[in-house]
Amino acid sequence: MAPPNETTEELELPSGLVFSGGTLEVEYLLGAYRSGCYPWTVDPITWWSPDPRAVFELDTFHVPRSLKRRLRQNPFRITYDQAFKQVIRGCADRTTGENSWITEEFIDAYRRLHARGHAHSVEAWQDDRLVGGIYGVSIGGLFAGESMFHRESDASKIALYELHRSLNRSGYTLFDIQMITPVTALLGAVEIPRTQYLSRLRRAVRLSRQFPRSL
């Protein structure tokens, strides 16, 4: 089965499951993301498009008072695409047991996307130690955040804050985070109807944008 297309928005699937099958090869993954779907399991491969969809609006990010204090301390050095493999491994280590959806197949697939310039990472460092990070997929003006992890308090939140600022400055128009969590809700994430998400997605992927780079 080919990746879903515009007909996805017509589906009535409250759970968000669209179909199963396909592959995790680069072109298949890119076609799925362009159509508003992402994979979540590998045996079988399942493709999801939840309704509502969680996003960060790029002109809004809520910084709680405690996080403002941490930002003033400048506790971490933030880089981009300097340690993609370590970041996705860190995210996989964070998800254990029944929640361990970042399997070796996923790691290999997103490393191939990274090699093609479509998967990216943001890293938080203390000295030379990786203490947090985020990875996701970039297509045009879309950034689809996949997962994040931390080994020091607030490391992933600060990496997310810096990523949000950088995407905004770089002219991205859609920051997808798939489903809302307590942490992302605290930082200002919102939910929008799937039909609205897909409409914005079609415009975003037509844009030409450069993912931020480390200074």
How many percent of the chain have pLDDT more than 90? 87
pLDDT tens digits, 8-33: 333 444 479 999 999 999 999 999 99
What stretches of 87-172 adopt beta strand conformation (E)?
A: 119-126, 129-139, 142-150
CB 110 within 8 A of CB 63: no
CA max distance for the chain: 51
Residues in the chain: 215
**Predicted confidence (pLDDT) at residue 2 exceeds the cutoff of 50:** no
Mean pLDDT, range 186-209, rounded to an integer: 97
Domains of the chain: 6-50 (3.30.70.3550), 54-204 (3.40.630.70)
CB 39 within 8 A of CB 24: yes
Report the distance separating Cα 13 and Cα 50, nearest Å: 8
pLDDT tens digits, 91-149: 998 754 445 689 999 999 999 999 999 999 999 999 999 999 999 999 999 999 999 99
Owner of token pair 């405690």: 66
